[in-house]
Structure 1
Amino acid sequence: MNVEWTLALLIALGIGSLIGLEREQSESAGRFAGVRTFPLVALLGALTNLFFPSLLPIVAGTFFLLVVIAYVSKIVLEGDVGMTTALATILTFVYGAMTVHSEEGLTLAIVLGTVTAAILAVKDPVHDLTDRIGPTELRATLKFLIIALVVLPLLPDEELEVLLGLNPRFVWLMVVFVSGLGFLGYVLTKILGPQLGIGLTGLLGGFVSSTATAVAMAEQSRQRPALTRISAFATVIASIAMFPRVLILVAVVAPELVLSLAVPLGAMTVVGGLSSLFLWLRLRTDQEPSVTLDNPFRVRPALLFGSLFAGVLLVVDLFNVVFGDAGVYGTALVAGTVDANAITLSVSNLAHTGVIAESVAVTGIVLAVVVNTLVKIGIAWVLGTPSLGRLVAGILGTTSLIGIGTVWLL
């Protein structure tokens, strides 16, 4: 017996069993199909494509007709018009046929079969997420996805003189990537819902916008002074989340800088994390401040960040030519007061292309991160209570000194 054929047929049965098991456990299939039917459907597709490939269109057409008849019968007998199980049945037949088509088809069938089962299994969480997302957020998300998926491929992938040597596709790709990180954090907060702990809320808020989280916590400490300590905890956690986020950005643009940056940013993360843990252990309240995060996947903020990123990229390059390393550091200090992402991506790109030294890029990124961290301290002092300002300044101030000291020693 051909081993490859046997393995492919067993995988087809496995894919069908996986999907059928999910349908059976969810009790969504009813009389339509179950844990026995789906493996047989996958086996039908595999055997037909393996031994009678010329008959595959006829068998597929006949099978699809049977699915339609069964679907109509389910509507009549059960009054259920849901098409999910019917579509899953058709896909299972297709996956079975793919397993014996080629090695690529076998691999793709395994991946898609697993993804299909996962999609079927997350029905309740997906519906809950849909209920939490309002129409305004949905429209904003769809607009940005259109811009990201349609506009990005159309942008020229070359340095244009009219844009002072900027690469439009690279600039927009970085915009999509940064916004995507924020959107991931935002979606996680929506999935986990209002029961999300303040620690994880602050962490995810740091990926969406650590500045917005700091402002929200400062305002709530004014309104509810009893929550000052837990507001400080959330502010610090959100600020610390910026450090691994910066490493992710650098890893995408200039992976050769990651190891050098991991030391100062890692030290800042550890010190800040331990200090936050100490603060959390001293909390004596069951109340938690709420953190309302706006959808970061919007067009206007994305365009603003793209403009900021392009401007910082040009300024860093120009100042590096005119003032050398000091120009890079000066730009990092100024840009860090507004946004650490733009300067991180700009400096990383220049280091990756050999325009500036790696050591200069590492120092510039840490300077921007430290300045941005100090901005959070300013927000806590100005917008929050004096107690909030002292707590945040004590932890984030120490964290910033650790970062500067680590870079200086290295």
Structure 2
Amino acid sequence: MTQTLGIAGAAAALGIGMLVGLERERHKGEGEHRAFAGLRTYSITGLLGYVTQQVGGALLLGLIALCLAVLVSTAYWKRQDKDPGITSEVALLTVLVLGALCAASPALATAIGVVMAGLLVYRQKLHDFARSQLTDAEMRDGLLLLVVALVVLPLAPDRFIGPYEAVNPRTICTLTVMLMAVGAVGHVAERILGPRYGYAIGAIASGFASSTVTIAAMGHRALKEPDHLRTLAAAAILSNLATMTQAALILGAVEPALLRQLAWPLLAGLAATALYALGVMLRARTAPTGQPVQVGGAFDLKLALIMVLTLTGIGVVSSVMLYHFGQMGVIVSATLAGFADAHASTASIAALASSGQLTLVAASTPVLLAISCNALSKCLVAWVTGGRRFAAYVIPGQLLLTGAMWLGTVAA
């Protein structure tokens, strides 16, 4: 068994060196301007790291790494006027360390080696993306998301606090990161696909911020572009996919058991919405040429803060209603809050189920009521913002979503 592991580790070390070496060899050049290392150097370095770790452990590996660093520094100094970059030098030292890691964890070392090779292969595209495509606002928002996900979230305490034990800081931070990340995915998809499918993709992406606002935006545009009425109505209906998906993500993050309880109603609502929107879109005569509609940016700090305050406030109200009026109080508060925002009600009810204050069966009805009331409130928004013709396409979709979701409870 030990011999088998040893062979696997050596093979992994050699494979990592050859993989990175092949990429470097293709860009090594020829003559006096060629780079200092290629296929053979990287392959040998990977094996060197593995053998060094096996023979002398960490101490010998450190000495070998120091010697290699001296050689790499010398090579860099000799050709710094031709190539000021240090990518090849750093990659060679990384291959040495990954070769040593193969002695303990070949799978992890191989995975890291593949990722490193990918970064080397797509260096030009990454450079173009960073310099030409990535805007300052997107860079700022991306850093914000990383700070919240990697710094704030791990430090948030994972326990219920407050007089009614209605607030869990870790859950709130998790939901905030999740909403920002999902919005980012929609933003990236919209950037990649371009304006041809802008309305549909933009509506789904914007729906994660606010499906109601998205429907209002589509209604206003429908008044200005009546020739694209059906396409805009279909996009407005598609924004409900974001509402249903976001509700599922919230339930899964806060109380997975409640998500399993409501899986069939949510799936039924998603299917009905997608099929109806597709039918409306296929009947559209012309494709719109305008830019996609967006509600806010891909990463919106203001939206995140509003969501945190909304989740906290409705969670406290639901907990108070449960404490003083029982399950009927939760149903009433979820119904009223659902007219404005279904996600906050869903999160607060899931939090009550997670803390044990509500059973899964008792929590299911308020969640469905919140989503249903939110869907019905969008009918009024569609009528007011887009007029009778726009509402004639949107309202049946909203009613179909609500009916399919409640019929899904039969299968559950």
TM-score, normalised by the number of residues in structure 1: 0.87
How far apart, CA to CA, are the structure 2 residues paired with 1:216 and 1:128? 33
Deviations 1:245-301 (A, max 9, x none): 321221222111223211111111111111122122212213344224332433322
- Work out whether residues 143 and 298 of structure 1, in 8 Å CA contact, stay in contact via their aligned partners in 2: no
- Work out whether residues 74 and 80 of structure 1, in 8 Å CA contact, stay in contact via their aligned partners in 2: yes
What residue is the counterpart of 2:92 in the other structure? 89
What residue is the counterpart of 1:69 in the other structure? 74
- Work out whether residues 238 and 274 of structure 2, in 8 Å CA contact, stay in contact via their aligned partners in 1: yes
Identity %: 31
Of 337-346 and 14-23, the range deviating more from structure 2: 14-23
1:124 CA displacement: 4.9
1:48 CA displacement: 1.9
Change (3 A) 1:160 1:407: same
Listed as ranges, the matches of 1:266-305 within 5 Å are: 266-293=267-294, 294-305=296-307
Change (3 A) 1:373 1:8: same
Matched, 1:229 2:230: yes
Deviations 1:94-140 (A, max 9, x none): 1111111x2xx433312322222333344455445433332234334
What secondary structure does 1:171 align onto? helix
1:360 CA displacement: 2.4
Deviations 1:27-55 (A, max 9, x none): 48883244444322211211222224343
Question: For residue 366 of structure 2, what is the amino acid of its counterpart?
Answer: G
Change (3 A) 1:128 1:394: farther
Deviations 1:62-89 (A, max 9, x none): 212222333344443xx33333333222
Matched, 1:51 2:55: yes
Change (3 A) 1:224 1:28: farther
1:365 CA displacement: 1.5
Change (3 A) 1:208 1:17: farther
Matched, 1:114 2:114: yes
1:164 CA displacement: 6.2
What secondary structure does 1:384 align onto? helix
What secondary structure does 2:262 align onto? helix
Question: For residue 213 of structure 1, what is the amino acid of its counterpart?
Answer: T
Matched, 1:138 2:142: no
Of 312-321 and 322-331, the range deviating more from structure 2: 322-331
Matched, 1:99 2:102: yes
How far apart, CA to CA, are the structure 2 residues paired with 1:374 and 1:255? 27
Of 335-344 and 30-39, the range deviating more from structure 2: 30-39
What secondary structure does 1:359 align onto? helix
Change (3 A) 1:13 1:250: same
Question: For residue 324 of structure 2, what is the amino acid of its counterpart?
Answer: V
Deviations 1:202-223 (A, max 9, x none): 3333345433432332222222
Aligned counterpart in structure 1 of residue 398 of structure 2, from 396, 399, 408? 396
How far apart, CA to CA, are the structure 1 residues paired with 2:363 and 2:218? 32
Question: For residue 324 of structure 1, what is the amino acid of its counterpart?
Answer: G
What residue is the counterpart of 1:341 in the other structure? 343
Runs of 4 or more above 6 Å deviation: none
Q: Across the two proteins, how many residue pairs are aligned to each other?
A: 404
TM-score, normalised by the number of residues in structure 2: 0.87
- Work out whether residues 157 and 170 of structure 1, in 8 Å CA contact, stay in contact via their aligned partners in 2: yes
- Work out whether residues 314 and 348 of structure 2, in 8 Å CA contact, stay in contact via their aligned partners in 1: yes
Deviations 1:188-232 (A, max 9, x none): 434555565544443333345433432332222222221111111
Structure 1: give runs of 5+ residues left out of the alignment: none
How far apart, CA to CA, are the structure 1 residues paired with 2:334 and 2:28? 56
Change (3 A) 1:195 1:227: closer
How far apart, CA to CA, are the structure 2 residues paired with 1:217 and 1:125? 35
Change (3 A) 1:143 1:194: same
What secondary structure does 1:2 align onto? helix
Matched, 1:60 2:65: yes
Change (3 A) 1:311 1:42: same
Question: For residue 181 of structure 1, what is the amino acid of its counterpart?
Answer: V
How far apart, CA to CA, are the structure 1 residues paired with 2:193 and 2:24? 24
- Work out whether residues 179 and 208 of structure 2, in 8 Å CA contact, stay in contact via their aligned partners in 1: no
Q: Please provide the CA RMSD for this pair.
A: 2.9
1:152 CA displacement: 3.6
- Work out whether residues 125 and 191 of structure 1, in 8 Å CA contact, stay in contact via their aligned partners in 2: no
